[in-house]
Structure 1
């Protein structure tokens, strides 16, 4: 089984290593360093261009057929947008969306929704640093580092994220008729599990996996449970793919 795993905002492909360690010998995991990642600049977020187009470009870079596309957080928003309009012959056999942001109704967004996400924007980077660090970082130092990441992403990066989130009620879910697994942590403070439930309920061929005692990064916080959920999904739903 060949999987392509895409990181979220200000992250890297290295964030998938805990999953790779539990994926097993039957899984070939590819990752991509996307423009909105740690190694990219700020140019991707400026007006003009289509970030969702990078999802298709990443798929095209993998030799052979991608059996399963796995996309986290911001990349999950973009993957859904891309695949809803992509020609069927270019789609992967299945899709795993991890910690997705999704609202069913435009009326679900209010002024305080934007204020909330502005207020906690740096917190997701703080959590990512805590999980990725090989040693315990002082909370104040980690907070300062998270603020630096936030400032590097910048206002335009935040606007790109929030604009994609605002578009989620208009996603053509009926067009996404491939097998989809939606994975989320029950304790996610950033992409609420209710978003995952709403998305899974709207897609024609989706299943939902909510992980207990887990936040925004299931592949790092619960890698064994995450891998098991992906493997069961592939073996039961993705034609022509199998995880041993």
Structure 2
């Protein structure tokens, strides 16, 4: 158990690794973290294309799709990410969207120290004043459009647009106000992060057609980090691991090699959180 500044107790899980395969001994370990309403399977095509030199670890997080919408009452997402990175001794952390913001915050606070971080489609604003009522309205009322984009890229692509829109709203409702509030609270904290002391090399990568995490925010984030590379994937939206897994894998591997780390391989390890 841990307590936040307000004295509230949070349960933060200790990952219980379960091995379904074996990775190359002594290789760097890569941890993949999906976003809000996502799932571990979203990384499969990326992992398959990312090379053959890392152990790759994956996890179903409390904020997974079709999970418990009341997970924020049981877990502090900042502790979830910190525990996973530290307990797995991850050398490389690859995180998408909501999880990318949590990783960024942990890096700023020094609670995790991987050898490299890859922030995929991260949310960031450099100025607190840029959050206004229209911004809140936009992200609240258009939240389902992010799920609609993901559904166009997956197995649901065979459905009609009307049916996908219905499914997107059901996913939004499943995430619920508790999950949305956790995401927006993370976003609101980004201007307050002291990124000047982050020494971990970071790749900030996203699509130029991202309707959720703005390209301008990604550019601001890369500029604020002392050691960051900014890559924009053309004709790509909020889910590069689904839409452009080959280009995403190539960019990540190039970045890691430039920083003296090898690319990634799929080791078929999985992590499960202890929900207590």
Map of 1:161 onto structure 2: 183
> Which whole-Å deviations, capped at 9, do the CAs of 1:25-77 have from their partners, x for residues lacking one?
2232211111111253122224x853111101222443xx4221001000011
Q: 1:59 aligns with which of 82, 85, 95?
A: 85
SS at match of 1:242: coil
Match of 1:70, SS state, is strand
Distance in 2, Cα, partners of 1:134 & 1:27: 31
1:26 pairs, out of 12, 32, 53, with: 53
**1:100-148 Cα deviation digits (max 9, x unpaired):** 1100011111110000001210011111122121651111111111111
CA contact (8 A) 2:212 2:238 kept: yes
- Contact 1:104–1:198, Cα closer than 8 Å, also in 2: yes
Match of 2:39 in 1: 12
Give the match for residue 216 of structure 2: 194
Shift of 1:234: 0.6
Assess if the C-alpha contact under 8 Å between 2:70 and 2:179 holds in 1: no
- What is the correspondence of 1:50-199 to structure 2 with a 5 Å cutoff? 50-62=76-88, 65-87=89-111, 90-133=112-155, 136-199=158-221
Runs of 4+ displaced beyond 3 Å:
none
Gaps of 5+ in 1: none
* Structure 2: gaps spanning 5 or more residues: 1-27, 265-276
TM-score by length of 1: 0.92
Larger fraction in helix: 1
TM-score (norm 2): 0.81
